Amino acid sequence: MNIVNVDYDGLIPNNVGLGTDERVKRALERWHPGYIDWWNDMGPDGFQSSLVYLRTAVSVDPKGWAKFDYVKMPDYRWGILLAPQQEGRKIAFGAHKGEAAWQEIPGEYRAMLRRLIVIQGDTEPASVEQQRYLGKTAPSLYDMRNLFQVNVEEGRHLWAMVYLLQKYFGTDGREEAEALLQRRSGDPDTPRMLGAFNEKTPDWLSFFMFTYFTDRDGKMQLEALAQSGFDPLSRTCRFMLTEEAHHMFVGETGVTRVVQRTCEAMKEAGISDPYDVAKVRKLGVIDLPTIQKKANLHFSLTLDLFGNEISTNAANAFHAGLKGRFREERLQDDHQLEGGTYPVLRLKDGKIEKEESPALSALNMRLRDDYVVDCNLGVSRWNKVIEQNGIDFRIKLPHVAFHRHIGEFSRTNADVDGNVLSPAEWTQRRTDFLPSAEDKDYIESLMQPQWEAGKFAGWIAPPKVGIDNKPGEFEYVKIA
Ligand code: BYC
């Protein structure tokens, strides 16, 4: 075995030399049955014996890391894969800038690092739990397969964090690894740690929005952790990012296909007013204003995952060299930020104003700003489809103050343009911005399974190309 190829001989595929690390191997083998129990209880409901055309990581070589084959999900080879070690890697930021990256955890940063790893780890099974019932209403076998691919890889990302806990954190790491299997998304007594991961993902438009917006938070946070001075965390996150790209592809193309189908149906029926919701719904497609409301919901819930705009936790993690900025290496500054400032939107006397804040404390805000830029790229692609169909409507991300539960704006009610509303106005206008009960019922009425190979539900266009270049009628899931 070398670092690029993966050892598949044991119970746990890996490229971290588990075969010669008896202690960690045994700890992971002890954790494994609990994981499988969790997967069977909380993973995709009703499809555990179906054969799914999945990709499995067989290498960490960017040129050819995955193979595709039919697999029953409980037999998926969840493995531990780290990107290759970079010879002589140095810490790129914070107080330890220029020092050799750590292969072991410095004692003084142990608690901080454990918290970051546990939070990251907690989101992975949470998303599988949130998506547990979606298979039953899949609009095609292609989409069903993509859902399951995302699910098994989130499971693998849990393994990635659990490996770090078991290898580097001793008894408390083992306890945290157990607790990751105990918490449940949305459970009032044992919820998942971050808000957005306790929300429901009730329908496929939500799934596409979640994989577009929330998995993109995953990308940003993993990019920031991939900068870590703790080398095993950096290497783990670098490989996770390879898989994450597909999840965001599922989200971006999923929403594109919904938008496309709506526009096509409107054109065929000669409807030019996108706000004539009743008429558009008669066509059995999702009207553009409702798609906008779903985007408002998922974008705002995801912004909460960046934490408070001003955060000592974020400052400490950066200063310690544990969590960097998005693409730290491309930034042109001292990478220590002791003296600099960064513009932060604050709520002052009921008004939203920009304020220069110490750059170190504003790191959550900065990552969130980078995230918003990234989000807008896909939104403009959705809008291109609408434009090409000659419809006068543009999807727009709401203001960052809209519908917030964490940070500066959780104390106010802002509309999608950032105007501060009174509580009464907010209550009255809420369903102008967010899906109403009626919108939800309508979407739910469309969620009828379409499981015939090569067929798609009427509210979504087929994809441009198949997975692994498979032809249109390919049977991505053999349902059993
Ligand atoms: N919900 O100083 P602050 C992914 C807490 S997604 C509940 O601003 P910090 C994925 C906070 O814990 C990426 N509580 O916090 C996507 C703190 O509490 P304590 C997941 C929240 O640390 C799709 C207090 O408020 N990875 O991978 O600067 C599918 C003070 O807050 C929330 C990570 O997040 C919230 N939203 O920022 C599958 C990376 N926000 O400790 C997977 C690791 C804040 O004082 N985590 N609080 O009791 C971090 O970097 C940071 O912990 C956070 C929060 C960005 C989450």
pLDDT tens per residue, range 30-84 = 999 999 999 999 999 999 999 999 999 888 887 778 899 999 999 999 999 999 9
Residue nearest atom 6 of ligand 1, based on CA coordinates: 218
Q: Pick the atom of ligand 1 nearest to 211's CA.
A: 23
Work out the average pLDDT over 128-151.
Answer: 98
Q: What is the pLDDT of residue 196?
A: 94
Give 195 Cα–ligand 1 centroid separation in angstroms. Answer: 9
- d(Cα 267, Cα 70) in Å, to the nearest integer? 39
Give 305 Cα–ligand 1 centroid separation in angstroms. Answer: 6
Work out the average pLDDT over 318-340.
Answer: 96
Give 221 Cα–ligand 1 centroid separation in angstroms. Answer: 10
- Please name the residue that has the structure tokens 């995955």: 66
pLDDT tens per residue, range 240-255 = 999 999 999 999 999 9
Q: What is the pLDDT of residue 4?
A: 64
Residue 51 in 3-state DSSP? strand
Q: pTM score, two decimals?
A: 0.97
pLDDT tens per residue, range 150-186 = 999 999 999 999 999 999 999 999 999 999 999 999 9
227 lines ligand 1 (CB under 6 A): no
Residue nearest atom 15 of ligand 1, based on CA coordinates: 307
pLDDT tens per residue, range 225-240 = 999 999 999 999 999 9
Whether the CB-CB separation of 47 and 135 falls below 8 Å is answered with yes
Give 374 Cα–ligand 1 centroid separation in angstroms. Answer: 20
pLDDT at 266 over 80: yes
Candidates 152, 221, 310: which one to mutate for ligand 1, based on the most atoms within 8 Å of Cβ? 221
Nearest-CA neighbor of 317 among 124, 86, 115? Answer: 115
Q: What percent of the chain has pLDDT over 90?
A: 94
- Please name the residue that has the structure tokens 């007594």: 189
pLDDT tens per residue, range 380-439 = 999 999 999 999 999 999 999 999 999 999 999 999 999 999 999 999 999 999 999 999
